[in-house]
Structure 1
Amino acid sequence: MEPAETIAVAEWMRHPAATAVLSVLSGGGYRGRFVGGAVRNHLLGLPVTDFDIATDATPQRTLDLCVQAGLKAIPTGIEHGTVTVVFDREPVEVTTLRRDVETDGRRAVVAFTDDWAQDAARRDFTLNALYLDADGALYDPTGSGIADARARRIRFVGEAETRIREDVLRILRFFRFHAAYGSDGLDADGLAACGALAPSMARLSGERIWKELSRLLVACRAGDVLVTMAEVGVARHLWDGPVDAGRAVALIRLERDHRLDADPLRRLAALVAEPDAAETVAERLRLSNAEARRMTVALATPGDAPSDEAARRAAIYRLGAQPFTDARLLRAAETGEDVSADLVTARSWTPPVFPLGGGDVTGLGIAPGPRVGELLRQVEAWWIMGDFAADAEACRSELRRLASQRG
């Protein structure tokens, strides 16, 4: 295979861990080339933070060569050709060239090959099917990967429907890659294939859907892409229930206007059109307990606007800063109301610690039991109503007053 062009050698191509792995492969008579995200990001002018290497060496041969060279090699996915090599605590994934033998839409049975074109043919998008030598020789087996990368076009390798039937997750990857890297409109053939095959997403595991969706939700063009997913009928197959792309878009705009970090859980909550569906969505996407709890609370918490600053602090104290922020932003995404003051307080105000405890109550001669908690709750409510101004002694005075009312 001849290189399509030669590019200037960048600093990341001389990374010590990559250099060590490529040297070991070369010393054994094999080829090793950068592939995937590193090559794509370089052509897009984006940072390269990690890299994968493709090789014509079999997985076992890669293991043997690395061990002989004193490198730590871990067979992380050896049945699919992947070996993780660690050099100076830096991991590098090395994967043998492959071709698909059998696919079922979720997983593939592969055979190893030494044919770079066969390996490229099984990849998802043309801009991910590029290979790069450490000396800058750039290979483009599909013939369009370089041009597509530079034009920020997300196109499937070969027939879009064929690629999707091999792995249905590629529907979400198509939208996620466009949201992260794309320019202009989505590829028409890819969009049509995604819409036609969207019902097949029901076969995907929730973990795989959430992994892709969470990355899509924080991508720079997430709002536009979510609208398109809804329009072509893909979004409704994320879970069993309606999706509110409009509210998600409004929330994304609010986050950007207020310079908040893109938050995948909050954006997911905005997508869930019915609060009662939170549990269903959490189960479908296999969210962690913490993720499910946060989304459920965000959707169940009334996001009514506090009447003044004291009410704002009271709400933050009772709910917590994050649930308060989530609820207010979700409400504002629906109503368009101004949440600037709410966000400022949630970011800048640290709720105080209630100064009394059970010992303050029993110290008055009140036996342990339900009345202890009742009195503490009453004093705490009084303390909150006073905008947290009362100190410990004032709270004890109020406690004595309340206790005396019931003897």
Structure 2
Amino acid sequence: MDPTGKIPPQAWMKKPETQKVMAVLLNAGAEARFIGGCVRDSILKRDVHDIDIATTAPPERVIQIMEASNIRVIPTGLSHGTVTAVIGTEHFEITTLRIDVETDGRRAKVEFTTDWTRDAARRDFTINAMSCDLDGNIYDPYDGLKDLSVGYIRFIGIARERIEEDLLRLLRFFRFLATYGKYPVSADALYACAELAPRLGELSAERVRTELFRTLIAPNPATTISKMIGEQVLQYVLPEATNVGRLRVVAWLVSTGVKFDNLEIDPIRHLAAALDPDISPQDVSTMADRLKLSNKDRKRILAITAKNPQISSKIGLQSLRKACFVFGADTVIDVALLSWGSDIAEHARLPQEQTATWINIIKTAQNLPKVKFPLTGRDVMDLGITAGPEIGEYLRQVQNWWVKKDFNPTHEDCVKMLKKLTNQD
């Protein structure tokens, strides 16, 4: 097949590591091209993070020629023809051209081939089937360039058949819609997704979570989440996500509206924003179990969705300082963003003064110096209190007093208060 387009050589193509890996493959008589996301994102002039290479060489041959050139190789997925070449900190996923000969909705048995068109035919979307060589010549057997230019996410072949081969493609469709898509959407694809959505339970929680998180941090998550709700897809993987309005606002605030320093677009925050404000801790825990969230993510989303801290645009500096000390600044910032998002979602537009107040709350929380309570259990025991629950209770009482005093009392002041509480003043 002849090339149908061209991109100028990219910075990632010119890296010595990239050049070396490609040279090893080509000098061994194999054909090799860049494939998938690195090509797609280069066309869109987006940052490229992962470099995938397709080749006609079988995986065992790839390992042989790489190791002969002193390139470390990880046998990432030999049964599917994939190895990873490592040079320094650079990783290159190299996959032998293949065709799927047997599928069950989760995994495929493959045969290797040297036919680029047959390899492209087994891929999910037209925009992912494009490849290019070191000179930037683009090979595009399914008009991916055209689809990419108009934001049309199109399955290769019949949508239902492609999803039945790998059910994860159903969720990937919506993720790519949120990341690259524009409307209107393929009616055939939506129909196939809705029809096969009840089978999403066959996928592992980890694969579902990964796709949902990638959708939530996409440039346009709310519109896509709304579409998933409307097509009765989301109910099978995330039925708790019903607050599309707040998600839309929070995603906009962080990505476009304000762009706070050191505030990343974050899937856990966006997930929390999409939940009903009155969701119970038990329901949040059930969701965390179903998605197999890490302990860190579980604790975080429970903290964000809890009834405390309550952050409103009327919060004073002392209360804000207290909330940051008790709950942590990161939690306070997340809760503030969700509260601000709820205000905008409810009222459409806020007075300029209120918007300025919300911005000030978040920036203040970001820049508050961390404070440390001066007392420890040793201070209590030095007064003759034996180890036990009394120590914690005395520390709690002094800490509450210290917080009410706006964190100003010194260690000496706190010891005096402790002595007063223990009748030793």
Give me the whole-angstrom Cα distance separating, in 1, the residues matched to 2:297 and 2:366. 21
Give me the whole-angstrom Cα distance separating, in 1, the residues matched to 2:308 and 2:8. 56
Which one is further off, 257-266 or 127-136?
A: 257-266
Give me the whole-angstrom Cα distance separating, in 2, the residues matched to 1:93 and 1:227. 34
* Residues 11/377 of structure 1: CA separation in 2 closer, same or farther (3 Å cut): closer
Give me the whole-angstrom Cα distance separating, in 1, the residues matched to 2:172 and 2:322. 43
Aligned runs of 1:214-293 on 2, under 5 Å? 214-239=213-238, 241=240, 243-256=242-255, 257-259=257-259, 260-273=263-276, 274-275=279-280, 276-293=282-299
Amino acid corresponding to residue 269 of structure 1 in structure 2:
A
The aligned residue for residue 131 of structure 1 is 131
Give 3-state SS (helix, strand or coil) of 1:404's partner.
coil
The aligned residue for residue 359 of structure 1 is 378
Does the 8 A contact of 1:236 with 1:243 survive in 2? no
1:70 aligns with 2:60: no
Question: Cα deviation per residue 1:237-278 (whole Å; 9 max; x = unaligned)?
Answer: 214556332332233234343424211111112223323311
Give me the whole-angstrom Cα distance separating, in 2, the residues matched to 1:109 and 1:213. 26
Which one is further off, 377-386 or 348-357?
A: 348-357
Does the 8 A contact of 2:241 with 2:271 survive in 1? no
Amino acid corresponding to residue 323 of structure 1 in structure 2:
T
Give me the whole-angstrom Cα distance separating, in 2, the residues matched to 1:264 and 1:317. 24
Amino acid corresponding to residue 68 of structure 2 in structure 1:
Q
1:299 aligns with 2:305: yes
Give me the whole-angstrom Cα distance separating, in 1, the residues matched to 2:73 and 2:383. 67
Does the 8 A contact of 1:97 with 1:116 survive in 2? yes
Give 3-state SS (helix, strand or coil) of 2:371's partner.
coil
Displacement of 1:101 after TM fit?
Answer: 0.9
Amino acid corresponding to residue 261 of structure 1 in structure 2:
E
Amino acid corresponding to residue 281 of structure 1 in structure 2:
M
Displacement of 1:195 after TM fit?
Answer: 2.1
Aligned runs of 1:302-381 on 2, under 5 Å? 302-304=308-310, 305=312, 307-336=315-344, 339-381=358-400
* Residues 378/98 of structure 1: CA separation in 2 closer, same or farther (3 Å cut): same
Does the 8 A contact of 2:34 with 2:52 survive in 1? yes
Equivalent pairs, count: 405
Displacement of 1:95 after TM fit?
Answer: 0.4
Give 3-state SS (helix, strand or coil) of 2:54's partner.
strand
Question: Cα deviation per residue 1:118-176 (whole Å; 9 max; x = unaligned)?
Answer: 1111101101101111123221122x112112333221111111111111111221121
Displacement of 1:107 after TM fit?
Answer: 1.1
Give me the whole-angstrom Cα distance separating, in 1, the residues matched to 2:204 and 2:224. 22
Gaps of 5+ in 2: 345-349
Displacement of 1:58 after TM fit?
Answer: 1.0
The aligned residue for residue 195 of structure 2 is 196
Amino acid corresponding to residue 299 of structure 1 in structure 2:
T
Give 3-state SS (helix, strand or coil) of 1:164's partner.
helix
Identity percentage over the alignment?
41
Give me the whole-angstrom Cα distance separating, in 2, the residues matched to 1:88 and 1:373. 51
Give me the whole-angstrom Cα distance separating, in 1, the residues matched to 2:130 and 2:335. 44
Give me the whole-angstrom Cα distance separating, in 2, the residues matched to 1:361 and 1:5. 75
The aligned residue for residue 12 of structure 1 is 12
* Residues 283/30 of structure 1: CA separation in 2 closer, same or farther (3 Å cut): same
Displacement of 1:341 after TM fit?
Answer: 4.0
Does the 8 A contact of 2:402 with 2:409 survive in 1? yes
Question: Cα deviation per residue 1:199-232 (whole Å; 9 max; x = unaligned)?
Answer: 1211111111111111111111112212222221
Does the 8 A contact of 2:51 with 2:91 survive in 1? no
Amino acid corresponding to residue 129 of structure 2 in structure 1:
A
The aligned residue for residue 100 of structure 1 is 100
The aligned residue for residue 50 of structure 2 is 50
Q: TM-score, normalised by structure 1?
A: 0.92
Does the 8 A contact of 1:252 with 1:262 survive in 2? yes
* Residues 54/327 of structure 1: CA separation in 2 closer, same or farther (3 Å cut): same
The aligned residue for residue 347 of structure 2 is none
